[in-house]
Amino acid sequence: MKRATGPDLIKAWCVALAMLLVAMSVGVLSSTAVLAQTSSNGLTVKNTADAKALLEGIQSAAKRLNYQGVFSQQRDGVVHAFRMTHRFDGEREEELLEVLDNSPREYWRIDDEVHCLMPEQRMIVTESQRQERFPALLMGELSKFSRYYEVSVEPTLGRVAGRRCLLIDIKPRDEHRPRYRLCADQESGLLLKAQLLNHQGNVLEQIAFGQVQIGQVIPDDALARSWSTEGWQRVDRKPTPIDFQEMGWGYTVPPGFSPVMQIRRQFNDGREVNQMILTDGLASMSMFIEPYQKNLSQHQWEGASQAGSINLYGQRVDDSWVVVAGEVPASTVYALAQSVDRRDAPLAK
């Protein structure tokens, strides 16, 4: 497999992959009780309801708790550091994510509205996103989760950021999705560490808190932006909902996956790209379709590529350029990309 060229394109795909839907949360206390009970058994979670509650408890903790900490993301031999402050007031989420290395940048989020602050460009980019990122976990419905994954909890506790945590192993039952290892805080259920593994057991990506406080009062000044934004350029990039099938596109979804979002996005260079996000509830991938341009270098690398834990496959279909990308096995990306075809005419609305 060759390495992908065009770092700007890869960065754009990776950013777009982060913009995912989620529509579930449960009470923290009841879910934490399930976590504790499962940990004491140290066995495979065979009951579908228990496995579902286990993962939903982690998701709920990420959305409904107050916490502040520093975490690192390691992918393809490169480590990046972030500081996160999260507050939930009983009705809405507010979050500040600060990039601690390379170019300074902050992401300020209130529920589904995200503002990206870029001081070097003196620019604020605003998007409406139903977005999930660490320490959130779930990307969609879990109704068929046990059909595609097996969940087990180690009998002994782990330790991350000075806190005891439950060691959870999520193994795929087929070749279409990756394996996950998690460590969730024993007391609160908050995800402290997540690893993405291939089928050989090699770690492809790791995200983990190095320091974290959970459950404290978060004052307003902890969520204050670092720079005065007076006079900055403001860009509103709200995506437009679309329907791939109505636009005349056909495709075959890999087993267990289903579309959760179909939108048209605008990139920095003015290009409009259609994006479909698919998930099995945990793993996710995106399909991007845009008009083919022979003068664009990123439209010339047809075939399979890889950027860290993200597999990509690009190809020309008639007068369009199609890319499928995701943190799933290369064969899953390839299967979806190869299934894409163009009908003679769009479906009538």
**Hey, what domains does the chain have and what are their CATH numbers?**
20-223 (2.50.20.10), 239-342 (3.30.200.100)
| Distant-in-sequence, close-in-space partners of 62: CB < 8 Å, separation ≥ 6 | 86, 135, 136, 137, 190, 191
pLDDT exceeds cutoff 80 at 200? yes
The Cα–Cα gap between 137 and 152 comes to 16
End-to-end CA distance of the chain: 41
Max CA separation in the chain (angstroms): 60
**Using 50, 70 and 90 to split pLDDT, how confident is the model at 17?**
very low
**Using 50, 70 and 90 to split pLDDT, how confident is the model at 171?**
very high
Considering only residues 218 and 267, tell me which one the structure prediction assigns the higher pLDDT.
Answer: 218
Structure confidence by residue, pLDDT tens digits, 209-241: 999 999 999 999 999 999 999 999 999 888 899
Structure confidence by residue, pLDDT tens digits, 285-327: 999 999 998 887 778 788 999 888 899 999 999 999 999 999 9
Structure confidence by residue, pLDDT tens digits, 125-168: 998 776 578 999 888 777 788 899 999 999 999 999 999 999 99
**Using 50, 70 and 90 to split pLDDT, how confident is the model at 96?**
very high
The pLDDT assigned to 3 comes to 35
Q: Average pLDDT of the chain?
A: 84
The pLDDT assigned to 130 comes to 60
Beta strands per DSSP E along 147-302: 149-160, 163-172, 179-185, 191-197, 203-214, 233-236, 240-241, 249-250, 258-266, 272-279, 284-291
pLDDT exceeds cutoff 90 at 248? yes
The pLDDT assigned to 327 comes to 93
* Window from 11-15, 52-56, 288-292 with minimum mean pLDDT: 11-15
Q: What is the mean pLDDT of residues 256-275?
A: 88
The three-class DSSP label of residue 220 is helix
Q: What is the mean pLDDT of residues 98-111?
A: 94
pLDDT exceeds cutoff 70 at 242? yes
Dig out the tokens for 275 from the structure: 């994006």
Taking the whole predicted model, whether its pTM rises above 0.75 is answered as yes
pLDDT exceeds cutoff 50 at 24? no
Considering only residues 180 and 40, tell me which one the structure prediction assigns the higher pLDDT.
Answer: 180
Other C-beta atoms lying within 10 Å of the C-beta of residue 239: 18
Q: Percentage of the chain surpassing pLDDT 70? A: 83
The pLDDT assigned to 181 comes to 97
Q: Percentage of the chain surpassing pLDDT 90? A: 66
The pLDDT assigned to 33 comes to 39
The pLDDT assigned to 297 comes to 74
